[in-house]
Structure 1
Amino acid sequence: MPQIVELVRGDGLGPGARLTEADLAARLQVSRTPVRAALQHLARRGLVEARPRRGFVLRKSVTSLSLDDAPAISDEASELCVEIARDRLAGALPLEVSESDLMRRYQVTRPFLLKVLNRLAGVALIERKPGRGWLFSQAIDDPKARAESFAFRRLLEPAAILMPGFRLDPAWMAEMRARHRAALAAPWRKSSSVDFFEMNAAFHQGIAAGADNRYLLLALEQQNRLRRFVNYDWTFGHERVVASCNEHLEILDRIERGELEVAAALMRSHIDAASRLAHPQLERVDADD
């Protein structure tokens, strides 16, 4: 983050100066999560060096540092959402967790942790247990289940577009176009995966809602809940984000022109492309869209 560069400059630090997550987080009044990410970014650029049990040390003088050397502050809450999703899928977090354990693991304050947990609870990824502790929801975390999910969606979503009376609200379509264009224009960061998935989920649920069939919509909402953790930890690169956004925009254009058969075929192709990306060895698996 640029603030770290500014601190280094202001302190007049030279090569060999020690930088610690705890000190920087306290001075910047943030948790250690974004500080750690920024220091790792600087290390990849060769500007600082990680030292075992010593944190990081400067490798270059302050005159060689610029604000462009560090990423801008990202959404800190989204950063932690991504870390939690990754750790849960990797089995590093158990099904049931306590606030104290999470505070220690991610080195964050209780108010900030509660902000993140309430955000995850709002999209049904975790729920507070009666009494104390939190319980993670089910996720699609094995290839076979994800393959079945995408096979189901491949049947469901094109069919929604072809339902008699299918219609999308023009205001919703305009909002979706604006959100997708903003996503295309914005720089990609790790924390962007959370907003990207939520926009993605809103797009697919909005298409399903156009069929005006409550059971179809409920089925797709369930699919989005099950795949949320997997896609918060985005591993498919910015190129797939660009392709996904453009495919969504093309589907909207076809629907607006009344070319529903074409739109349904594009939706099917869109889901197939996403499937092949994550599991090329399977004909149709998962990748998000």
Structure 2
Amino acid sequence: MKHKSKSRPTRLQQDLLPQILELVRGDGLGPGARLTEVEVAERLQVSRTPVRAALQHLARRGLVEARPRRGFVLRKSAASLTLDDAPAASDETNELCVEIARDRLAGRLPLEVSESDLMRRYQVTRPFLLKVLNQLAGVALIERKPGRGWLFSQAMGDSKARAESYAFCRLLEPAAILTPGFHLDPAWIAEMRERHRAVLAAPWRKASSVGFFEMNAAFHLGIAAGADNRYLLLALEQQTRLRRLVNYDWTFGHERVVTSCNEHLAMLDWIERGELEVAAALMRSHIDAASRLPHPQRDREDAS
């Protein structure tokens, strides 16, 4: 079993680090000012243990100094405090999105969940959890129940639903490209190229699956929108919502990401040339290849 390095904070500590620095900045504290675990824990409404670990991490960074029987004292002025090597907030948020999607699909999370249970399970603060839940709610993966708790949306978790999904896309998406009057805004094409190249250039991490799926969904929905048929677009939007939870838990590796991005870019090239038959054939081939990818068996009863 791998053990986390003592120099690397946990997600909860990472969440606390900028909050502690904001407290320091907000109070306008200077070098020599004292920070105690009790006061910081009370103000952030968390227990003392993760606060102690976060302060120890700041001490290793040279931002504070541990003093026997005095707690911690600042070594720098509030204005000069930075955490340049702290993980990006979006990465942290997306990593938890991936974990929640994986646990939901594996049946480790029930259909209905409470914030307190999720905070205990993932060892995160309530503000950070709410940021994640609101992000998931924004893409219709979960919704707040009247009163208390959250409710997951239904997802295509079994192999039959997955096969039906690809068959559905194979029928509609190539046909969208061949619809009379099909047109894509050049500005949208340029934006898609830029987003795909950014994905190809960036290192692949667990959290990358969220951004990749959303970019992939934007590409396919944008192609559908080019047909200027509201019913076709609404149908594909619904199908995308059903696929989102499964695809946040990406299992196909970076090589498939590169292949998918290059196939998308090739389709855009042919569309710009006016070769819509070729673009439609590439879309059909693209969907067929995705449907043949090995996929973990997820035929399990819905937890409730």
Q: TM-score range by the shorter chain?
A: 0.7 to 0.9
Contact 2:176 2:227 in 1 (8 A): yes
Q: Tell me, in whole angstroms, the C-alpha distance in 2 between the residues paired with 1:236 and 1:199.
A: 16
Tell me, which stretches of 5 or more residues in structure 2 are unaligned? 20-84, 298-304
Cα deviations across residues 243-281 of structure 1 (Å, max 9, x unaligned)? Answer: 000000000000000000000000000000111113599
- Residue equivalent to 2:274: 258
The answer to whether 1:163 aligns with 2:162 is no
Change (3 A) 1:99 1:265: same
Cα deviations across residues 52-101 of structure 1 (Å, max 9, x unaligned)? Answer: xxxxxxxxxxxxxxxxxxx9835100000000000000000000011111
- Residue equivalent to 1:189: 205
Could you say what secondary structure the match of 2:143 adopts?
strand
Alpha-carbon RMSD across the aligned residues, in angstroms, is 2.5
TM-score by length of structure 2 reads: 0.70
Tell me, which stretches of 5 or more residues in structure 1 are unaligned? 9-18, 31-70, 282-289
Query: Alignment partner for residue 87 of structure 2, among 41, 57, 73?
Result: 73
What pairs up with 1:125-164 in 2 under 5 angstroms? 125-164=141-180
Q: Tell me, in whole angstroms, the C-alpha distance in 1 between the residues paired with 2:11 and 2:194.
A: 39
Q: Tell me, in whole angstroms, the C-alpha distance in 1 between the residues paired with 2:296 and 2:118.
A: 35
Contact 2:177 2:279 in 1 (8 A): yes
- Residue equivalent to 2:116: 100
- Residue equivalent to 2:70: none
Q: Tell me, in whole angstroms, the C-alpha distance in 1 between the residues paired with 2:96 and 2:284.
A: 33
Query: Alignment partner for residue 216 of structure 2, among 187, 192, 200?
Result: 200
Q: Tell me, in whole angstroms, the C-alpha distance in 1 between the residues paired with 2:155 and 2:256.
A: 22
- Residue equivalent to 1:275: 291
Q: Tell me, in whole angstroms, the C-alpha distance in 2 between the residues paired with 1:204 and 1:22.
A: 33
Q: Could you tell me how far 1:23 is from its partner in structure 2? A: 9.2
Q: Could you tell me how far 1:28 is from its partner in structure 2? A: 3.9
Q: Which aligned segments of 4 or more residues in structure 1 are displaced greater than 2 angstroms? A: 19-30, 71-74, 278-281
Contact 2:112 2:151 in 1 (8 A): yes
Q: Tell me, in whole angstroms, the C-alpha distance in 1 between the residues paired with 2:192 and 2:246.
A: 23
Could you say what secondary structure the match of 1:212 adopts?
coil
Change (3 A) 1:133 1:260: same
Aligned-partner residue type, residue 250 of structure 1: A
Identity of aligned residues (%): 81
Change (3 A) 1:194 1:279: closer
Change (3 A) 1:188 1:227: same
Could you say what secondary structure the match of 1:277 adopts?
coil
Q: Tell me, in whole angstroms, the C-alpha distance in 2 between the residues paired with 1:124 and 1:175.
A: 24
Q: Tell me, in whole angstroms, the C-alpha distance in 2 between the residues paired with 1:23 and 1:192.
A: 20
TM-score by length of structure 1 reads: 0.74
Q: Tell me, in whole angstroms, the C-alpha distance in 2 between the residues paired with 1:97 and 1:254.
A: 46
Change (3 A) 1:248 1:90: same
Larger Rg: 2
Change (3 A) 1:24 1:110: closer
Query: Alignment partner for residue 88 of structure 1, among 104, 114, 119?
Result: 104
Q: Could you tell me how far 1:129 is from its partner in structure 2? A: 0.6
Aligned-partner residue type, residue 190 of structure 1: K
- Residue equivalent to 2:225: 209
Change (3 A) 1:127 1:27: closer
Contact 2:155 2:243 in 1 (8 A): yes
Q: Tell me, in whole angstroms, the C-alpha distance in 1 between the residues paired with 2:15 and 2:182.
A: 54
Aligned length: 228
Q: Tell me, in whole angstroms, the C-alpha distance in 2 between the residues paired with 1:23 and 1:222.
A: 34
